[in-house]
Homo-oligomer: A and B are copies of this chain.
Amino acid sequence: MTLQTRVERRLDQALSQMEGQPAPQGFAKSLRYSVMPGGARIRPTILLSVAQACGDPNPAAADAAAAALEMIHCASLVHDDLPAFDNADTRRGKPTVHKGFSESIAVLAGDTLIVGAFDTVAQVQDPALAVALTRKLARYTGSPFGICAGQGWESESTVDLHAYHMAKTGALFIAATEMGAIAAGQEAEPWHDLGALIGQAFQVADDLRDALYDEATLGKPVGQDEALDRPNAVASYGVDGAIARLKDILAGAIASIPACPGEAALADMVRRTAQKLTPSDAHRSAVPGE
């Protein structure tokens, strides 16, 4: 079974639990709409890749962690698209949840997916493992280290750029590598830097996409960083400089991989991710939208 199939199956199982009776059925539809069909599923794929590199002794725990992480990511997209944030009309080539349903349903769908994510990791059979995964997921979702705090920076009058980037973009990648290791029964800490560096690479790649692609290719509005006055690698280094920086960061990510049985395969995965993330000058093929 491919990693993507594992992610989709566990997500489907979690959604089926949430949308069953006695849930109101219009609202229930918004949950699956928020999660399916997905984007590139990059975070859960990284999580499962790290678990595999560590031997993947508890695949059900890894699948639950991966699905939970993706549910948090989807919830963050639904809330970030709201009029009070990015005010986006489209996402993954279809109307955003508040456009396709309503603003109140979009708030509730995001809330419900957050809750569902914690319920999913809590379903891991070994209680100690379930608790360790729950705490990591909370750390990198909430405050002060998670994506909620990261988004909170966008309302501050002065911004700590390091803290902002670490929390806004880095947090869920760090969660991916650390939770992958935990699910495989390993210590989380040695896997922190790999997640942080992949997160940095992803941020630079997102800045490049935002600068280079048109809205139809991306399936979401472009030019948002400039419009919202957010820091941007392309604005700081130019396109070529940002591409060079992306390659440097990914080389550092590969170098940071801890010794483990599947070290070489994991390095290959990071290289493949790098290729997908890096815009090609010959033909700027679509990078999978988030």
- Interface positions of A (Cβ within 8 A of B): 18-28, 31, 75, 79, 82-85, 101-105, 107-108, 110-112, 114-116, 118-119, 122-123, 127-128, 130-131, 134-135, 138-139, 141-146, 148-149, 151-157, 159-160, 163-164, 166-167
Contacts and interface: CB of A to CB of B under 8 A. Distances in A.
Contacts of A127: 127-128, 130-131
Contacts of A26: 152, 155-157
A142 B85 contact: no
A28 B160 CA distance: 14
Nearest to A103: B84
Closest 10 CB pairs of A and B: A27-B152, A115-B142, A23-B144, A119-B138, A84-B103, A127-B127, A22-B163, A84-B104, A118-B118, A122-B134
A155 B104 CA distance: 8
Count identical subunits in the complex.
Answer: 2
A101 to B, nearest CB: 8
**Which has the most chain B C-beta neighbours within 10 Å: A31, A82, A104, A115?**
A115
